[in-house]
Chain A
Amino acid sequence: MTTDHLPSGDPGGTPGHAHDHGSDLPADLVESTHAVSVTVNGRLRRATVPARRLLSDFLRHDLGLTGTHVGCEHGVCGCCTVLLDGAAVRACLLLAVGVDGRAVTTIEGLAAEDGTLHPVQQAFHDEHGLQCGFCTPGFVMSACDFLADNATPTRAEIREGMSGNLCRCTGYQNITAAVETAAARLAETGQDPRARCAGNDPDSGSGAVARARMGATPNEAGTTGRGPAGQGPSSTGALDDGPGDPGSAVGEGDA
């Protein structure tokens, strides 16, 4: 959290403890701040946030992961959908402090390090399932959860399962097709759609490191994908996360 977000002169929160601020403030302006540790796309991120900081703003503006979009901030449009311990949720209806200790996967956490698109992403491209692209990350994340739940959906099931996301551009025709195509491709490989794509290029980076990082992605941590994920990678490797907020109190790496 940038100090910009805090009342001036505030010492910041103590890790692990809530910290109330602003004893001189009117009662309705008093808020607490909290140290949080969240595994985001396989990497442990630490930050100090006000209690009211929405997960969507935390991801976008504190961690620089701007692929998670905000379309309504009342939970209807689905643009901000991310995976929380493997389950698709609205980031605008969660508080950053509420995901302390949990694992979040965003749209930035799907493609392989060598640039290979995740099968759901690839299917959206192949089927022209996106136009302006604003709703797209939410649809892709919802599809990953949906296909983990139902690997061989009918078109009717796709429509029901994907019905919580709004798109204003496509009329949904090609989104339905994309989810159908993704299902077929995922069925061939048996990949858990909530996990980062492994990539095609065996020579990309250090294979061992890459595999280690893959293994630490939240969704491969448990067979159900619903339980708390393991710790993020304790090593150096930066995945493709955004730059974070310059001058912010966001940390990363070993907790």
Chain B
Amino acid sequence: MKPPPFRHVAPRTVDEAVTALAEADGHGKVLAGGQSLVPLLNMRLAAPSVLVDVNGVTGLDGIEVTDDAVVVGATVRHRDLERHAAADAALPVLRQALVHVAHPVIRNRGTVVGSLVHADPAAELPAVLVLLGGHVDVVSRDDRRSIDAEALFVAPLESSLRPDELAVSATFPRLAATTATAVRELARRHGDYAMAGVCVAVDRDDERATVTGARAVFIGVTDTPTLVDLGEDLAGQGCHDLDTVAAVARARDAIDPTDDIHATADYRRHLAGVMLARALADAATGREDA
């Protein structure tokens, strides 16, 4: 399990990076955290001719918390964001999701933007980006564009980035102060990809302790993260005595899990509903993710 031969370039600027990608003519790969890419290289399941290592590119390591959003640069590690107090205060769902990403040592190195563009349907952060309606900013030698979350995820492990494009940042829009979030998942082992999981956002009328709207994005049970609006099923209900039966039924219809060696599709569908019910209760009551 040793990587195949490749060339390594270490650009210092975004311009140099995207030039290198363009020159790679479709055979280049961006290396940031490498926590997904390097295993694929070691197993020789990927064989790029050029690795464009963006870890030394200046200006990509920032976390910016604005009135509207949390903007995360391409080389920001999961742990950096997890530990960022202002980001957590602005968008608790980030940390709620990040603690489920593998293990601390992997989070020390893996990047937030990298895990988005890797587009693994079992990953947590793509679901968060879709839940929040965020976007990713990408740059190529001749172009610069913003890709909305819903357009970013094309298929399992396939994003809409072109091979010559570099994702330079992700923007996670902030939620209204009255919207609460929760993340629930069940993995075989702690830190594994979930058999099923969900991120939810619940809009609350805190004076009346009622729900005014709710949305969910599932993890590991859909090909790409997809927003399911549950407002119709939940609006008007009391925060502390939610009846989630209709929401769960709707969600189970909306997802499309498959069998694998760890769980059947039917179990995943069932489990997704259980996770949803629990996450909705967490968010509606303000309970911390268990």
Contacts and interface: CB of A to CB of B under 8 A. Distances in A.
A54 B2 contact: yes
Interface residues of A, number: 40
20 contacts: A28-B47, A34-B8, A51-B51, A52-B4, A52-B8, A57-B2, A73-B2, A73-B39, A78-B105, A81-B105, A84-B109, A89-B105, A92-B42, A93-B34, A93-B109, A94-B34, A95-B8, A98-B55, A149-B104, A164-B106
Nearest to B189: A163
A90 interface: yes
Interface string A20-61: 100000011111101000000000000000111010010000
Nearest to A146: B104
A93 B55 CA distance: 14
B105 A142 contact: yes
A164 B104 contact: yes
A75 interface: yes
A163 B34 CA distance: 20
A221 interface: no
Interface string B103-136: 1111011000000000000000000000000000
A31 B6 CA distance: 5
Contacts, number: 112
A130 interface: no
B31 A98 contact: yes
B38 to A, nearest CB: 4
B60 interface: no
B106 A90 contact: yes
A87 interface: yes
A154 B144 CA distance: 47
A20 B49 CA distance: 12
Is the contact region of chain A dominated by helix, strand, or loop, or is it mixed? mixed
A52 B6 contact: yes
B103 A93 contact: no
Nearest to A30: B5
B7 A93 contact: no
Contacts of A165: 105
A74 B8 contact: no
A18 interface: yes
B19 interface: no
Interface in B1-51: 1-10, 31, 34-35, 38-39, 41-43, 47, 49, 51
B130 to A, nearest CB: 26
Interface of B: 1-10, 31, 34-35, 38-39, 41-43, 47, 49, 51, 53, 55, 79, 102-106, 108-109, 190-191
B49 A30 contact: yes
A88 B108 contact: yes
B34 A31 contact: no
A215 interface: no
Contact of A54 (B3, B4, B5, B51): B3
A163 B7 contact: no
A75 B108 contact: no
Contact of B38 (A18, A75, A81, A161): A75
B8 A73 contact: no
Contact of A31 (B5, B35, B102, B108): B5
A97 interface: yes
A72 to B, nearest CB: 8
Nearest to A51: B8
Q: Which of A31, A93, A100 has the most CB of B within 10 A?
A: A93
Given A51-B7, A73-B1, A94 B109 contact: yes
A54 B38 CA distance: 9
A78 B103 CA distance: 10
A74 B44 CA distance: 11
A74 B36 CA distance: 9
Given A27-B49, A73-B1, A74-B39, A32 B108 contact: no
Contacts of B191: 163-164
B81 to A, nearest CB: 14
Q: Which of B6, B39, B41, B105 has the most CB of A within 10 A?
A: B105
A163 B103 contact: yes
A52 B3 CA distance: 6
A32 B8 contact: yes
Contacts of A30: 5, 7, 49
Contacts of B34: 93-95, 98
A100 B10 CA distance: 10
Contacts of B103: 78, 163-164
B104 to A, nearest CB: 6
